[in-house]
Structure 1
Amino acid sequence: MFKRNIRTRAVVAAVTASALHLAAASSAVAETPCGGDFRAFLDGVALEARSQGRAEAAISATLAAARIDRKVLSRDRAQGVFKQTFLTFSKRSVSGYRLKQGAANLRKYAATFQKAERDYGVPGPVIAAFWGLETDYGAVQGDFNTVSALATLAHDCRRPHLFRPQLLAAIEMVEHGDLDPQRTTGAWAGEIGQVQMLPEDIIRFGVDGDADNHVDLKNSAPDAILTAARFINHLGWRPGEPWLQEVSLPSNLPWEKSGLNFDMTVGDWSKLGVKARSGGLPSASLPAALLLPQGKDGPAFLAYPNFRVYLEWNQSFIYTTSAAYFATRLAGAPRYTAGNPGDGLSDAAMKDLQARLRNKGYDVGKIDGILGAGTRAAVRSEQLRLGLPADGWPTQALLNRL
C-alpha cells in the first residue's frame, strides 16, 4: 500500500520530455480512451502515465500484468444485491456474527478507534460497520487481480472516466512500492484492502496507523481504520452528530414528506408525532429526513446530515441504510421493528412499473428493476396523485392502478 505520510498527487511532466513527445502522448491518449485493441489501449495509458511523470519501470511492470477479466465484466453488469429489499439485505448483512465481531474489534483496537474520532471526528461504530460490511473485518477482501480489474473496467466503455484514473493511480502505487501488480488482489471493481478503497483514495487519504512507514490496507487494521476515518471525514462527516435513528410514527403522518429530503427539522417531525423508539431525539434544529425503506408499515428512521456521507460511500439506498443501521447497532441501539410491510414487487413487475412511470414522464433512470431514488420519488408522486399513502413503497395495487 501507500507508504510514509500522505502524498499530494501532482501531474509532473518529465523535465527532458520534448513538446513533440507530449503532443504525441496526448494524441494517442485521445485516440484510445476506451475499447478497441487492448494493447493499443494500454499503450495510451502508458503514454498518459509518462506525461504524469511516472517511472518507466513502474509503467511497464503494471501494464505487463494487465489482462481482460471477463468475470469482472460479468460482476459489473449483474449487481443483483441492489434488488433486495431493506429487510432482506439488512437481516443478512447485519448478522449476529458481524455484530459480535464488530464489538470485539471495537474493544481490540479501542486506542485506534479513539484516535480516529479524536483526529477525524468519526465514531468507532461507523468505521467498524463499513469494515464489517465490506470485508468481514478483513477476512474476505476479494481475489481479483487489482491491476487487471482496473484495466478491464477502464478499457470497457461503460465507465472509463471512473476507472482509467484508478489504473493510473495503481501505476503510481507500484512506483512507490505499495502495490504488487502480479500479486495484489481485491474486489472486482478494483478496491483494495479491509475497507475496500480505490488507489486514488489510498494515495490521497492513506494513514500509517501502526507507524511502520507503510499504509497497508490489506494487512494492517490500524491503517485501515484511520484511513477510513480520514476518508469519511473528507466526505463531510459532522463530528458529534448522529447519523440514523429508528423512530415510531403516527398513523396520520403526511407520508409525502418522507424521502431523502432534508427540508424539515427534528422539531418539525416531533410536532407531527414522530418519536424515538429508544432514547430521545437530538436537537430540534437539526435537519432530518424520514426514511421508509419499505413504506409506512415497515421500519422507519430519521436520517440526519451525516447520512449523506453514507450516500457518498455507496449510492445504493439499501446498502447505505443498512450500513448506517449497522453502525447504530454497534453503538448500542436495539434491533429495528420490522413491522409488516407486505411483499414488494417481483423483478418483472418492478421493471413494468418503471416503464409505466417513464411513459408518464418520470425520470426513473435505467429500467433495471432496482428501486432507486428516481423510482421512489416517482412512486411517491403517483401515490399522492391517486390518493394513496405516499410512502414511496411500490405495491401490486399501485401497479394495477397505473
Structure 2
Amino acid sequence: MTFRPSRLVAPALALLALSATASSALAAGQCGGDLRQFLAGVKQEAVASGLSAQAADAALANAQIDRKVLSMDRGQGVFKQDFLTFSQRSISGYRMKNGIANIQKYASVFDRAEKEYGVPAAVITAFWALETDFGAVQGDFNTINALVTLAHDCRRPELFRPQLIAAIHMVQNGDLDPASTTGAWAGEIGQVQMLPEDIVKWGRDGDGDGHVKLKTSSPDAILTAAAFIQHLGWQPGQPWLQEVSVPSNIDFSLSGLGRERPVSDWAAMGVTPRNGSLSQNLKAALVLPQGRKGPAFLAYPNFSIYLEWNQSFVYTTSAAYFATRLAGAPVYDKGNPDPGLNDPQMKQLQTKLQALGHDVGKIDGILGGGTRVATQAVQKQLGMPADGWPTQELLNKL
C-alpha cells in the first residue's frame, strides 16, 4: 500500500516521535527555495533536536529531489473499489496460505508480541500481508530522497519535515542507509510500511541484533507493528470485527460507524453471530459495507485501531475481516447486494446530496463516510431502508 492519510495527518500518531521545540516548530514551516539551503536548515534543526551533525551530513549529503515522488503525490489514485471486490482480490488463497505459514514460522515472536503488547498474531499478519505481501513488495523509492522531496515541496512540509528528521535519527542509530534504504513514495519503510517517526518511537528489536531493521527482519517488523498497534489503543483480549446475520425488519438507520450501542441491544433486535458468540459486554456498530443485502459485521471498539492505521473504510474493513479469517472465522456470506453506482453516478449523487444541504466533502465519486451518512439520511426521509448503500433506485428518486 502507499500513502495512508491517517498515518501522516493525525498529529497524535505521526508527528510526536521526537521532542518538539519552538525552533523546530518554526523550521517545520520552511520549504522550497534552493535545495542546499533547505538541507542546511534541516541539518540545523536535526542538530538542535539532539542528533549529531555527522548523522545529518551522512543522511543528506547526496539527497536530491525525486520528480517521480512529486508526480505520485499529485496524482494519487482514489480508492473506488467496493468491499466485496477489494476483499476478494486482496484476501487471496496465496495470502491465506502464507499468512498461516508465517504465523507458524514466527510463532515465538508472535507469542512475545501478544504477551508484551496484547496484539494477536492474526491482526499483525493481516497488515503484513496487505501492506507488502510479507515483505515481497516494499517499494523502490529511495527513502531519504522521497522525504527530502516531500518536505521541500510546499504542499505539506509540516507533515514530511518531521519524518525527514526522524530518518536522520534512524541513520544515527544505524537503522537506515541513505544510499540503499528504499520504500514507498511517501517515506514508509519495511515489511509493515512504517513511517520514520513511528519507527523511531515504536521500533522494537525482535531478533536481538541491536537494530530495528523493518526491511530485512520479520521479527523486528512483527514486534514493531505490535507496539504501534498497542499505542493506537488496542484492547487485549477483545474482538475487533465479527460477521453477523441481520433480520430483514431491523431498523437499518441504526447501522453505521459512529452509531455504537451495547451488543446486548443488537442481540435483542435479532442480530446473531455466524461464528462463535457475541461479546455482550461490549459496544459495537453494525457495519453494512454494501448495504442490507451484503455482508454484515459488528465492529467492536478495537476496530477503531484499523481506522487509525488507514482511513479507507474498504481497506480497514477488509484488513479486519482478513484478520478474523486468519484467526479461524469462515468466509463471509457475500449475500446478493444491490448493484452500486459507477463513478459518474456517484458524483451525480454527491452533487444532489450536497444541494440538499448534506456535507459529502469533495465531489469525487468515492463512497466515503460523509456520503454514507448523507445517503442514509435521505433514504430514511424517502421511506427506504436506510442502510447507507447508494443505488440507482435512490438516485432515481432524487
State the TM-score, normalized to the length of structure 2.
0.91
Alignment of 1:235-246 (within 5 A): 235-246=232-243
Q: How many residues align?
A: 383
SS state of the match for residue 334, structure 1?
coil
Distance 1:10 1:369, change over 3 A: closer
Offset of residue 36 of structure 1? 4.3
* SS of equivalent to 1:388: coil
SS in 2 for 1:82: coil
* Aligned mates of 1:313, 1:26 — CA distance in 2: 25
- Where does residue 214 of structure 1 map in the other structure? 211
Mapped contact 2:118–2:237 kept (Cα < 8 A): yes
Question: Hey, what's the Cα distance between the residues in 2 that align with 1:398 and 1:9?
Answer: 46
User: Counterpart of 1:117 in structure 2: which amino acid?
Assistant: E
For residue 244 of structure 2, give the secondary structure of its aligned residue in structure 1: strand
Provide the secondary structure at the position in 2 that maps to 1:80.
coil
* Aligned mates of 1:266, 1:99 — CA distance in 2: 29
Distance 1:157 1:369 in 2: 27
Q: Determine if contact 2:117/2:227 at 8 Å carries over to the other structure.
A: yes
Query: Residues 162-185 of structure 1, C-alpha deviation per residue, up to 9 Å, x if partnerless?
Result: 211101111111122211112100
1:86 aligns to 2:91 (yes or no): no
Instruction: Give the match's secondary structure for 2:207.
Output: coil
Taking the aligned partners of 2:250 and 2:287, their CA distance within structure 1 comes to: 13
Cα separation, 2, equivalents of 1:174 and 1:337: 48
User: Once superposed, what is the RMSD of the aligned Cα atoms?
Assistant: 2.1
Q: Which amino acid aligns with 1:349?
A: Q
Measured after TM superposition, the shift of residue 116 of structure 1 is 0.6
1:303 to 283, 299, 321: 299
Going from structure 1 to structure 2, the CA distance change for 1:53 and 1:279 (only over 3 Å counts) comes to closer
Name 2:325's counterpart in structure 1: 329
1:262–1:287 contact (8 Å) kept in structure 2: no
> Structure 1 245/26 Cα, relative in aligned 2: closer, same or farther at 3 Å?
closer
Deviation per residue, 1:368-388 (Å, 9 max, x gap) = 221111111111111111111
> Partner amino acid for 1:351?
K
How many Å separate the matches in 2 of 1:46 and 1:35? 15
Q: In structure 1, how many angstroms separate the alpha carbons of the residues matched to 2:195 and 2:25? A: 25
The match for 1:54 among 39, 46, 51 is 51
Counterpart Cα distance in 2 of 1:398 and 1:38: 53
> In 1, are the aligned partners of 2:17 and 2:198 still within 8 Å (CA)?
no
1:193 paired to 2:197? no
The alignment status of 1:70 with 2:67, answered yes or no, reads: yes
Give the Cα–Cα distance (whole angstroms) in 2 for the partners of residues 238 and 392 of structure 1.
Answer: 29
Query: Normalised by the size of structure 1, how large is the TM-score?
Result: 0.90
2:95 alignment counterpart: 98
- Offset at 1:53? 2.8
Secondary structure of 1:139 counterpart: coil
**Of 136, 142, 145, the match for 1:145:** 142
Counterpart residue number, 1:41: 38
**Cα distance in 1 between the residues matched to 2:395 and 2:132:** 38
C-alpha distance 81-113 of structure 1, shift in aligned 2 (>3 A)? farther
Amino acid at match of 1:102: G
Q: Choose from 265, 270, 280 the match for 1:273.
A: 270
- Structure 1: gaps of 5 or more residues: 1-7, 14-21
Map of 1:2-401 to 2, 5 A cutoff?
11=19, 29=27, 33-80=30-77, 82-282=79-279, 284-401=280-397
Tell me if structure 1 keeps the 8 A contact 2:303–2:320: yes
Greater shift after overlay, 163-172 or 357-366?
357-366
Give the direction of change, closer, same or farther, for the CA distance of 1:349–1:39 in structure 2 (3 Å limit). farther
Given that residues 11 and 53 in structure 1 are in contact (C-alpha distance below 8 angstroms), is that contact kept between their aligned partners in structure 2? no
Q: Within 2, Cα distance between the matches of 1:238 and 1:184? A: 34
C-alpha separation in 1, matches of 2:191 and 2:183? 9
> Residues 104, 276 of structure 1: CA spacing in aligned structure 2 closer, same or farther, 3 A cutoff?
same
- CA offsets, 1:304-360, max 9 Å, x none? 000000001111101100000000000010111111113221112222222222222
CA contact (8 A) 2:173 2:211 kept: no
In 2, distance between residues paired with 1:383 and 1:37? 54
Counterpart code for 2:209: D
CA drift of 1:9 comes to 5.7
| Aligned-partner Cα distance in 1 for 2:135–2:199 | 16
CA distance in 2, matches of 1:251, 1:142: 45
Distance 1:39 1:345 in 2: 49
1:74 is displaced (CA, Å) by 3.1
Return the letter of the residue paired with 2:270: G
Q: 1:207 to 1:358 in 2, by over 3 A?
A: same
Q: 1:270 to 1:77 in 2, by over 3 A?
A: farther
Tell me by how many angstroms 1:58 deviates: 2.0
Letter in 1 for 2:82: T
Moved more, 54-63 or 285-294: 54-63
The answer (yes or no) to whether the contact 1:264–1:289 under 8 Å persists in 2 is yes
The structure-2 alpha-carbon separation of the partners of 1:294 and 1:183, relative to structure 1 and needing over 3 Å to count, comes to same
Is 318-327 or 342-351 further displaced after alignment?
A: 342-351
Q: Structure 2: 5+ residue runs without aligned partners?
A: 1-15
| In 1: Cα distance, 2:66 partner to 2:176 partner | 19
Q: Is the 8 A contact 1:38 1:155 kept in 2?
A: yes
Correspondence for 2:11: none
Deviations 1:87-143 (A, max 9, x none): 111011111000000000011111111111111100100001011111111111111
SS at match of 2:213: coil
Greater mean alpha carbon deviation, residues 60-69 or residues 318-327 = 60-69
Contact 2:18 2:197 in 1 (8 A): no
For residues 33 and 365 of structure 2, what CA distance do their matches in structure 1 show? 31
